[in-house]
Amino acid sequence: MAITLDKERLFLMSADHKKKIFIIDFDDTLVKSSECIIDMINRDYGTNKSIKDLKDWNYKSICREMTQEKVLELYEREEFFDNVKIQDGAQEFIERNSTEYKFVICTKGSPRNLDLKKKFCDDNFKGDIQFYGIEIEKDNPHLDKSILNCMNPAVCMDDHRDALNSLECPVKIIMTNGASYYWNKMEGNGETLYMVKDFKEAQQVLDYLYIE
């Protein structure tokens, strides 16, 4: 089963650890989720779209038939986890920085999706890692990750501004994957904000912070 923790256990986990906390997202941050989902939609619905055609969060720009329920079902398939590609440099990024940071992979999804994500992370990522799954509410799909604020994170990385806006963190990194969407456009609000297109640029941010 995927690990879900309450605030007290999250606080104890962070307080018991001497490293700084780095909260990192899964979908479209560690892995190329949207590219894989679009490939699955193309096979299921006979479309011929690519990641360049993506304009919205629910993939209606890829196929008008898509609904939130259909998107969640795609993310629950083992086919997704068999084919999704890890972002270039993501594994090396976590391993390289695990001396300085404890990585908390925080992601939202259905119970089945979270179980499969945890297995995927266990199989593919090495380093000082904790997996934390937040069960998505079908009538409230917002990307609120504020429960992790009790961990006093030092760095947070996500591809969606709503998730980053919900976190209280001095350094925020938004992963754009080299594209401009309405959900990755944001401004800093008292914290330091960096926009990166890949993990090479993310490493440059951490190197800069370390020098400072």
Q: Residue 136 and residue 3: Cα distance in Å, rounded?
A: 14
d(CA 195, CA 205): 9
The two three-digit tokens of residue 25, written as one number? 């997202």
Q: Which of 20, 50, 83 corresponds to the end of one domain?
A: 83
Tens digits of residue pLDDT in 45-99: 999 999 999 999 889 999 999 998 999 999 999 999 999 999 999 999 999 999 9
SS3 per-residue string spanning 102-151: EEEEEEEECHHHHHHHHHHHHHHCCCCEEEEEEECECCECCCCCHHHHHH
Question: Are 74 and 101 part of one and the same domain?
Answer: no
Please indicate, yes or no, if residue 2 is contained in any of the structural domains: no
Query: What would the pLDDT profile of 88-141 be if each residue is shown by its tens digit?
Result: 999 999 999 999 999 999 999 999 999 999 999 999 999 889 999 998 876 555
Q: What is the mean pLDDT of the chain?
A: 87
C-beta of residue 143 within 8 angstroms of C-beta of residue 160? yes
Cβ contact 144:166 at 8 Å: yes
CB 27 within 8 A of CB 114: no
Q: Are residues 103 and 168 in the same domain?
A: yes
Domain co-membership, 145 together with 162:
yes
Which structural domain, as residue segments, surrounds residue 141? Answer: 7-30+87-211
Residue range 170-203, pLDDT digits in tens = 999 999 998 888 778 866 665 688 999 999 999 9
Adjacent-strand bridge partners of 2: none
Tally of domains within the chain? 2
Instruction: Give dist(CA 113, CA 162) in Å, integer.
Output: 21
Residues 6+ apart with CB under 8 A from 112: 76
- Residue type (1 letter), 148: L
Indicate yes or no: pTM above 0.85: yes
Is the same domain home to 91 and 195?
Answer: yes
